[in-house]
Amino acid sequence: ESHTDSYVRRIPLALVAEGSLDRRAVYSKGYFDYLLWPPIEQELLSRLAACTAEIARRSAPPFFSADPMVQDSCDLLAQQVDQKITLSKLARMIGTNRTTLVNRFEASFNCGPMTWLRHYRMTLAAGSLRNGHESVATVAESLGYENSNNFSTAFKAFHGLSPLRYRKMVAGREKPA
């Protein structure tokens, strides 16, 4: 890992010359925000404060809830990410009813359990595509998708790119459209 890579992980803020600004390229490389060169002091302070807040948010465990019922549900869903599970079955397994479970998820994540699961799967999918060499079909199957076309549709709806384009972009072999 280079010194620059380590720095990007700590402060994901790009410094870009005004004439060469390509926002998509900046964000696709994992930067949280950018500053134009030469920077304006107040803008610099404001952007650094925003980056610091984002780093704190990212350092929290992903998909974590302080609500024990919700966290137990999340843990169960994460352990069975490749299985089909219904809201009713999840509620029974946790020992509650659908309405209570949905309300508690809404309070924790602003979405219901099945939406949370979809987000979790798409986050895992992006990590697998970014770091692995498995086929899209293998990634889809590992996340409970029987049909890789359905997986590709869901991935594109969530990430804005097909799984193959996403993999090529993060590998630097393709520029954003």
Cβ neighbours for 151, distance < 8 A, ≥ 6 positions apart: 125, 136, 139, 140, 143, 145, 163
- Between CA 75 and CA 116 the distance in angstroms is 12
Which domains are assigned to the chain? 3-59 (no CATH), 62-177 (1.10.10.60)
pLDDT (0 to 100) of residue 5 = 38
Pairwise CA distance, residues 17 & 175, whole Å:
19
Q: Which amino acid is present at 110?
A: N
pLDDT more than 90, % of the chain = 50
Kindly state the greatest CA–CA separation across the chain: 59
Q: Determine if residue 95 is left, alpha or beta; phi over 0 gives left, psi from -120 to 50 gives alpha, anything else beta.
A: left
pLDDT of 124 reads 92
Query: What is the Cα–Cα distance from 116 to 77, expressed in whole angstroms?
Result: 9
When mean pLDDT is compared across 15-24, 78-87, 100-109, 124-133, the lowest value belongs to 15-24
User: Average pLDDT, whole number, for the chain?
Assistant: 83
Q: What's the distance, CA 6 to chain centroid?
A: 20
pLDDT value of position 4: 36
Distance from first CA to last CA of the chain, Å, rounded? 29
Residue with tokens 């803020």: 13
Query: How confident is the model over 65-71, as a mean pLDDT?
Result: 90
Alpha-carbon distances of 97 from 72, 73, 77, 89, 135, rounded to whole Å: 14, 12, 16, 9, 38
Q: How confident is the model at residue 12 (pLDDT cuts 50, 70, 90)?
A: low
In tens, the pLDDT along 92-119 reads 999 999 999 999 999 998 899 999 999 9
Q: Which of 127, 138, 140 is nearest to 167 (CA)?
A: 127
Contacts of 101 (CB under 8 A, 6+ apart): 69, 70, 73, 87, 90, 91, 94, 113
